[in-house]
């Protein structure tokens, strides 16, 4: 499972973000990802390890290859992280509307 701060930190790197975005199209092998990026295959593997440790991607053995994909559980955790701010903002807005409606200024 993802840890939202680790996930956000992992996505802060442009290469990792590009890898993550490429995986949005479906499962991919390291070699496929490396062919599209200006970094070596070992570098892609290292970036994938960071993304996996952050809970954003998972890998599955398919024959002799490992295929990487976005981990939906990790995305749910990051979304929940951001939702808490949205929920607080909506609650604050509702409070402000009520104060305005009541004619109070808190």
Domains of the chain with bracketed CATH? 4-102 (1.10.10.10)
* Structure confidence by residue, pLDDT tens digits, 13-31: 999 999 999 999 999 999 9
- Three-state DSSP at 87 gives helix
Tens digit of pLDDT for each residue in 58-85? 999 999 999 999 999 999 999 999 898 8
Query: Is there a contact between 41 and 47 (Cβ–Cβ < 8 Å)?
Result: no
What is the signed CA dihedral for 24, 27, 80, 5, rounded to 10 degrees? -90
Q: Is the pTM of this model over 0.75?
A: yes
């Amino acid at each position: 499972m993802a840890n939202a701060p680790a996930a956000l930190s992992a996505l802060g790197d442009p290469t990792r973000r590009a890898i993550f975005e490429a995986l949005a199209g479906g499962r991919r092998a390291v070699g496929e990802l490396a062919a599209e990026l200006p970094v070596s295959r070992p570098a892609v593997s290292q970036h994938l390890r960071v993304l996996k440790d952050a809970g954003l991607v998972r890998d599955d053995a398919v024959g002799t290859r490992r295929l990487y994909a976005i981990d939906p559980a990790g995305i749910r955790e990051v979304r929940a992280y951001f939702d808490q701010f949205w929920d607080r903002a909506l609650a604050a807005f509702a409070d402000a509307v009520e104060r305005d409606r009541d004619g109070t200024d808190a």
